[in-house]
């Protein structure tokens, strides 16, 4: 994931004021599964006030507790009241506390170290390891009133050993973002990053996992099933790319500024959030659907094994899956959504920009997969060598 350079809350308000989508990149912490380093456990969660009560939706189950605290381990920006109106209506006396994470690795590290949370929200490349280590427990989807509308292909990715451990909630692309007014040739594939025309104007995402994946795709390889010989080939290919690279980015806000200024012409592994934001700012950008396919991330909620508020956690998942919550995610943040019933609430223009109206977009997206510790370390070590080669 990336470092925070600006306040998520402030940015979200700016987005609402200008009626632009800013994506999970609206938080400059827009998620990508590619980051691997696990930071240390951080401060105690910050309390968040419940939004004003609205018309009460049907309850998902008889409440076990109607007071107390519910602790969310989540990305900054997702604590906004618009995402959990349903829960606030059902449980007005429950205090919701948020502890923020900057990357999926941090969520894993915190839960593994014993941090007590009732919901955790990493991306899918950490889902399997957290299930395998018994850090999360199965979700009783029969108690989720909106589960019937969740995209089954995305829901399947959260299923392990025949049980649903993860409720998918948000997804997006990692692709190539281009200042089309500054390049003679608009790239059409990952392999085009090596075009000398872009020398000195390319931005690469600071992630060994991302670098491995996009280079493997450029070489026609399966990123998650490479041999040691192919790993060497990927490393050499990346070394050949470095003369084209102006900068290595980690903050979406920084990348957006570099593209807007014209310093960066071609940004690799950029999120759809940047595309939506820059379009709204009047920057002449295009977002490529590479011939090899767009990479994609999927993130979602699970209930840690040590949660003491299982039923409240279920109610909160259901609130986040509600159509109005999901539509807000797409309309204001520019992220993909999982609840098909929310599509009618998404601005048609934004739905087209995000390809949400494309029935095959999920099957065409190359979502990040779980990787083992050896792969993660190998790719991280490789990337450390490559990015210091210039």
Query: Which pLDDT value is given to residue 32?
Result: 55
Q: Which of 58, 322, 377 is nearest to 209 (CA)?
A: 377
Confirm whether 2 is domain-assigned.
Answer: no
Query: Which pLDDT value is given to residue 41?
Result: 35
Write the DSSP string, 169-224: EEEEEEEEEEETTT-SS---SGGGGG-GGGTT-EEEES-HHHHHHHHHHHTT--TT
Q: Is the pLDDT of residue 297 over 50?
A: yes
**Same-domain status, 292 and 318:** no
Query: Which pLDDT value is given to residue 172?
Result: 93
Q: Which of 33, 24, 82 is nearest to 276 (CA)?
A: 24
**Same-domain status, 306 and 289:** no
Query: Which pLDDT value is given to residue 10?
Result: 35
Confirm whether 3 is domain-assigned.
Answer: no
Q: Is the pLDDT of residue 18 over 50?
A: no
- CA distance linking residue 78 with residue 190, whole number of Å: 31
Q: Is the pLDDT of residue 61 over 70?
A: no
Structural domain harbouring 245: 173-296+369-387
Q: Is the pLDDT of residue 62 over 70?
A: no
Query: Which pLDDT value is given to residue 357?
Result: 85
**Same-domain status, 194 and 71:** no
- CA distance linking residue 355 with residue 381, whole number of Å: 35
- What confidence tier does 273 reach under pLDDT thresholds 50, 70, 90? confident
**Same-domain status, 236 and 131:** no
- What confidence tier does 389 reach under pLDDT thresholds 50, 70, 90? confident
pTM, two decimals, is 0.79
Element (H, E) at 285: strand 285-287
Higher-pLDDT residue of 356, 215 = 215
The number of folded domains in the chain is 2
């Amino acid at each position: 994931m990336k470092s925070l350079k600006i306040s998520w809350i402030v940015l979200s308000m700016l987005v609402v004021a200008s009626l632009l989508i800013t994506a999970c990149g609206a938080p400059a912490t827009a998620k990508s599964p590619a980051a691997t380093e696990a930071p240390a456990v951080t401060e105690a969660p910050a309390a968040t006030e419940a939004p004003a009560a609205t018309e009460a939706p049907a309850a998902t189950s008889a409440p076990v507790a109607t007071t107390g605290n519910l602790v969310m381990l989540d990305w900054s920006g997702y604590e906004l009241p618009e995402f959990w109106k349903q829960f606030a209506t059902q449980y007005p006396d429950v205090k919701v506390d948020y502890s923020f994470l900057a990357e999926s690795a941090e969520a894993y590290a915190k839960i593994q170290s014993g941090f007590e949370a009732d919901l955790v929200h990493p991306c899918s490349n950490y889902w399997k390891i957290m299930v395998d280590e018994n850090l999360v427990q199965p979700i009783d989807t029969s108690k989720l009133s909106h589960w019937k509308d969740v995209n089954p292909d995305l829901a399947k990715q959260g299923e392990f050993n025949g049980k649903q451990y993860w409720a998918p909630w948000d997804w997006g692309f990692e692709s190539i973002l281009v200042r089309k007014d500054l390049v003679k040739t608009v790239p059409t594939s990952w392999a085009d990053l090596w075009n000398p025309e872009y020398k000195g104007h390319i931005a690469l995402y600071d992630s060994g996992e991302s670098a491995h994946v996009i280079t493997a795709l450029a070489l026609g390889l399966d990123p998650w099933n490479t041999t040691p010989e192919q790993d060497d080939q990927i490393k050499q290919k990346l070394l050949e790319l470095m003369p084209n690279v102006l900068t290595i980015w980690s903050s979406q806000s920084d990348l957006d500024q570099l593209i807007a200024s014209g310093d960066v012409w071609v940004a690799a592994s950029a999120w759809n959030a940047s595309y939506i934001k820059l379009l709204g700012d009047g920057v002449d950008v295009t977002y490529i659907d590479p011939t090899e396919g767009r990479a994609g991330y999927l993130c979602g909620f699970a209930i840690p094994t040590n949660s003491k508020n299982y039923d409240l956690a279920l109610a909160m998942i259901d609130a986040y899956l509600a159509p109005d919550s999901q539509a807000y995610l797409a309309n204001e943040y520019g992220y993909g959504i999982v609840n098909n019933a929310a599509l009618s609430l998404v601005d048609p223009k934004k739905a087209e920009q995000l390809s949400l109206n494309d029935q095959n977009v999920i099957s065409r997206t190359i979502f990040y997969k779980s990787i083992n510790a050896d792969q993660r370390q190998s790719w991280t070590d490789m990337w450390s060598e490559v990015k210091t080669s210039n």
